């Protein structure tokens, strides 16, 4: 247990050096299970991408956007609102609000090709500045134990900003919150087995 905690601390420190916020244990096991149960009960629709408007394109993104109950939504909103000041200090940004959490389910074969969350449009009311990913499943538990295989979050250009092709892979670990600047190119690698559940949001 001490070795595991030390490894987590080292990983967190390394991510901090790369301008990536990490909070292991942001959700405990019970909170992750509760959120996943709400997703099981919710209505799942194919997740969209933005390309001159919102549309479904399974060649780019293969995932499901799940509508959960209001109680679960409010719990997550409060938790993310509570951590926003810490995230703001980490990035040295004034972050005043959030877009609102989304609950995403990637089944076996699911992925999301490289993209950015930040985009500018004339007349846009707000602009995403910080992207958040809260893992609800573990990649190291395996599908038989309710986790997944594959499904790493891959960030480009954080290891070496001069070489955007150099990736940083973050394996899903239930309860861990990751935050990074929304202009960073990133993708979700294919889920090879099981289900990858996450909650996402954006601060601005």
Q: Which domain holds residue 169?
A: 2-203
Write out the chain in H/E/C secondary structure.
Answer: CHHHHHHHHHHHHHHHHCCCEEECCCCCHHHHHHHHHHHHHCEEEECCEECCCEECCCCCEECEEEECCHHHHHHHHHHHHHHHHHHHHHHCCCCCCECCCEEEEECCCCEEEEECCCCCCCCCCCCCCEEEEEECCCCCCCHHHCCEEECCEEEECCCCCCCCCCEEEECCCCCCEEEEECCCCEEECCEEEECEEEEEEEEC
Task: Return the bridge partners of 194, or none.
Answer: 148
For range 141-165, the mean pLDDT? 88
pLDDT at 120: 65
Q: b or e along 26-48 (b: 16 or more beta carbons within 10 Å of the residue's beta carbon)? A: bbeeebbebbbebbeebebeebe
> Can you give the pLDDT at residue 17?
92
As a whole number, mean pLDDT of residues 134-161 equals: 91
- What percent of the chain clears pLDDT 70, i.e. is strictly above it? 92
Q: With 70 as the cut, is the pLDDT of residue 6 above it?
A: no
Q: How many whole angstroms separate alpha carbon 150 and alpha carbon 156?
A: 18
In the prediction, which pLDDT does 2 show? 45
Spacing of C-alpha 88 from chain mean position = 17
* Mean pLDDT, residues 117-131: 77
pLDDT of 53 reads: 86
Domain count within the chain: 1
**pLDDT > 90 in the chain, percent:** 78
Q: Assign residue 115 the CATH number of its domain.
A: 2.60.120.620
pLDDT tens string 12-27: 888 999 999 999 999 9
Beta pairing, strands 186-188 & 148-150: unpaired
Nearest to 102 by CA among 204, 198, 22, 203: 198
Which residues, 6 or more positions from 172, have their beta carbon under 8 angstroms from its beta carbon? Answer: 135, 137, 138, 139, 147, 148, 151, 152, 153, 196, 198
pTM of the model: 0.92
């Amino acid at each position: 247990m001490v070795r595991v905690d030390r490894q987590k601390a080292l990983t967190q420190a390394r991510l901090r050096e790369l301008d990536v916020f990490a909070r292991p244990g942001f959700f405990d096991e019970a909170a992750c299970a509760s959120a996943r149960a709400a997703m099981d009960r919710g209505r799942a629709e194919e997740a969209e991408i933005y390309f001159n408007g919102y549309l479904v394109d399974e060649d780019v993104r293969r995932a499901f956007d799940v509508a959960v109950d209001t109680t679960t939504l409010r719990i997550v909103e409060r938790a993310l609102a509570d951590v926003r000041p810490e995230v703001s200090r980490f990035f040295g940004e004034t972050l005043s609000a959030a877009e609102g959490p989304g609950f995403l389910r990637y089944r076996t074969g699911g992925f999301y090709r490289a993209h950015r969350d930040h985009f500018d449009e004339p007349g846009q009311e707000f602009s995403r500045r910080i992207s958040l990913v809260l893992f609800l499943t573990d990649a190291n538990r395996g599908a038989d134990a309710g986790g997944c295989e594959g499904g790493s979050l891959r960030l480009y250009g954080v290891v070496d900003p001069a070489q955007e092709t150099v990736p940083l892979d973050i394996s899903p670990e239930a309860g861990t919150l990751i935050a990074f600047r929304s202009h960073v190119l990133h993708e979700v690698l294919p889920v090879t087995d099981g289900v990858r559940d996450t909650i996402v949001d954006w601060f601005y």
